[in-house]
Amino acid sequence: MIDPGVLTLVERKLYALPNAYALDGRVSTHPAHVRGFASMNCYVILERGRALLIDTGFSVHEQQLLTQLRSIVDPTTPLTIWLTRVGEYNSVCNVVPIAERFNVTKLIAAVPEPERWVDFRPRGRGDAAARRLDLFAGVETELVRPGAVVTLGPRHTRQLRAIPAPLRLLPTCWIYDVDTTTLFTSDAFTHTWRGDADGPWLIGDRGRDPTDQHAVWDYLTHSRFWWLRDAYTAPLREELANTFATHPVTTIAPAFGCILQGTRVVERHRMMLDSLLWSAPQPPRAHAEQTIAVTR
Amino acid sequence: MSAVSSATQRRLPRELASGIFWLGGCLQVNHADQPLHVSHSAYLVCGETCSALVDAGHPQDVDLIEAQLGGLLRNGAPQLRYLFATHTETPHTGAIGRLLGRYPDSIACGEVSDLHLVFPEFADRMRRLRPGDSLDLGGTTLAVLEAVVRDYDHTRWAFDTRRRVLFPGDGFAYSHYHDVDQCAKVAEEVPELDLPDMTALFAELALYWTRFADLEPYVSRLETLLFDELAVDVVAPTHGLPITDPEATFSRVRSGLVRPDDR
């Protein structure tokens, strides 16, 4: 039975595993002044006895995540983990606990040897390097850069395309699932959150979309996209337009924040982002906050 | 391939200024079929009463950092009280959970966003610091600064006021060559390193936003901070080789950040 915390995005094909965390001024994902809750999202793609997990969330969600994962993936099923941002904890915290309990056969990332990035949680004394060698012995790794196609299933029937991320902070790619027309946008389109820890974590064509354009701009420029305040955004808009022109999208699946499902809601948020980027350029500004002088 | 070169292991920890030690390792990256190394450094800043570790290394170096730090503390470095994070990307705070566990009197501080979700068992030992805050180490102060070159918005830099060492996190980031013995050396010991090119390459690969920004205001701000406000003697970055002669070396960093073909 599927855990009630799991969101079915496409029956038997694609599931979201959202877990809530408080926006309390202590998180890097949102502006310090924002209050409410966001979901940290991992995604499971299923294809004929194979499974692929995109990202692994924060440590604090370990137990919920394992329960969610167990409810849709048998521990013997070959499982690939695709880490979209090895430089950020919310991508990598639960790789080790998952690898200890599931049949992880492959790690995918934009760096070689991704297993070197994932074992940092205090787990008693001992040699972390030796433990890592033991846990990931026999696990294949795949270095994936934009342009690559990852296949899933015994006949490689499911195609996941790694595409350049037009809007991002750190090295990452977006992933396009051809079968379900889902675009996994990593740290972009992460601009929706809720007042309640229970969500809901999906915004669809039929439900109310509370997203406000001014709030999105505030979110972007007071979080990881602070640099948009001064950015030359024409290339970003062009790449964003090309991405959506060449990939029909019915679901936007961000690493955190509400999932956007339905052609109308997808188009609304694409246009909102484009419009904000169009109006973005500002005079140069080098300081994040006030200038602090330390006396000589 | 060992990601931590034997040269790095042999040479670090290295004392950069009296009571300031360079720790950490290198990570190999490949660019255009060239194997390059990127430092993932941490620095132990010793005062008269306690010490602070600035950044905490890459996750692959958890054992290495723990061993290097343990050696320094056994050899007389004052007790470790502060684990200062410039920001909480994995290559900057890899060993912080292990060290919080090993040194129960220490706290994580600086830009500590998300760490309560990563290491919830230590959530009550994290303190966010703002520009203008400072840590008293006894006989010296670690002053908290706003970051100039950064990725996360609220990244913090730190400055040791007695030895005039700047810890700029992702600032002054550039790769180096392992196979010509550049690991664990300071910038001035490898004059052959094409510092402008390596600086530009790091920005291109790791600081995506710099493709869309005019970097001149950032570089001007850096210049003012280094030479007018702080009179920095040593620059101790997380991803570049330390700079021991900022007056001589800064112009090479500048030309890497502000390229002639910039928009």
- Which positions 73-102 of B are in contact with A (Cβ < 8 Å)? 87-91, 94-95, 97-98, 100-101
pLDDT tens per residue, range B13-41: 999 999 999 999 998 887 777 888 999 99
Tokens 């690493």 sit on residue:
A255
Which of A223, A294, A295 to mutate: most B Cβ within 10 Å?
Answer: A294
The answer to pTM > 0.90 is yes
Which residues of chain B are within 8 Å of residue A187 when distances are taken between CB atoms? none
Q: Is A295 a residue whose pLDDT tops 60?
A: no
CB proximity A189 to B under 8 Å: no
Which of A89, A96, A218 to mutate: most B Cβ within 10 Å?
Answer: A89
Q: Strands A104-109 and A140-143: what pairing? A: parallel
Sign, CA torsion A286/A288/A289/A291: negative
CB proximity B239 to A under 8 Å: no
Under 8 Å between Cβ of B68 and B77 = no
Q: Is A285 a residue whose pLDDT tops 50?
A: no
Query: Closest approach of chain A CAs to the CA of B193, in angstroms?
Result: 24
Decide if A231 and B101 are in contact by the 8 Å CB cutoff.
no
Residues B203, B87: Cα–Cα separation, whole Å:
17
Average pLDDT of chain B is: 93
**What is the pLDDT, as a whole number, of residue B6?**
65
Residues A59, B90: Cα–Cα separation, whole Å:
13
Q: What is the mean pLDDT of residues A209-228?
A: 94
Residue-level length of chain B:
263
Question: Which residue of chain A comes nearest to B58, CA vs CA?
Answer: A117
Among residues of chain B, what percentage have pLDDT more than 90? Answer: 80
Q: Is B263 a residue whose pLDDT tops 60?
A: no
- Which positions 47-66 of A are in contact with B (Cβ < 8 Å)? 58-61
Please tell me the least confidently modeled range out of A282-286, B8-12, B103-107, B208-212.
A282-286
Residues B182, B172: Cα–Cα separation, whole Å:
16
A·B CB contacts under 8 A: 154
Query: Of B20, B22, B25, nearest to B6 (Cα)?
Result: B25
Which of B118, B204, B224, B232 to mutate: most A Cβ within 10 Å?
Answer: B118
Q: Is B55 helix (H, G, I), strand (E, B) or coil?
A: coil
A127, A170, A284 ranked by CB distance to B214: nearest: A284
Where is B27: in which H helix or E strand?
A: strand B20-31
- Which positions 15-34 of A are in contact with B (Cβ < 8 Å)? 21, 26-29, 32
* ipTM exceeds 0.90, yes or no: yes
Which of B60, B140, B141, B263 to mutate: most A Cβ within 10 Å?
Answer: B60
pLDDT tens per residue, range A118-159: 999 987 556 777 877 789 999 999 999 999 999 999 888 899
**What is the pLDDT, as a whole number, of residue A249?**
98
- Which positions 149-208 of B are in contact with A (Cβ < 8 Å)? 150-155, 159, 161, 205-206, 208
Query: Closest approach of chain A CAs to the CA of B227, in angstroms?
Result: 10
Which residues of chain B are within 8 Å of residue A230 when distances are taken between CB atoms? 213-214
A93, A120, A230 ranked by CB distance to B94: nearest: A120
Q: Which band of pLDDT confidence, cut at 50, 70 and 90, is reported for residue A288?
A: very low
Backbone region of residue B25 per phi and psi (left: phi > 0; alpha: psi in -120 to 50; beta: other values)? beta
pLDDT tens per residue, range A39-84: 999 999 999 999 999 999 999 999 999 999 999 999 999 999 999 9
Residues A255, A67: Cα–Cα separation, whole Å:
19
Under 8 Å between Cβ of B183 and B22 = no
Decide if B205 and A230 are in contact by the 8 Å CB cutoff.
no
B246-257 vs B195-206: helix crossing angle, rounded to 10: 50
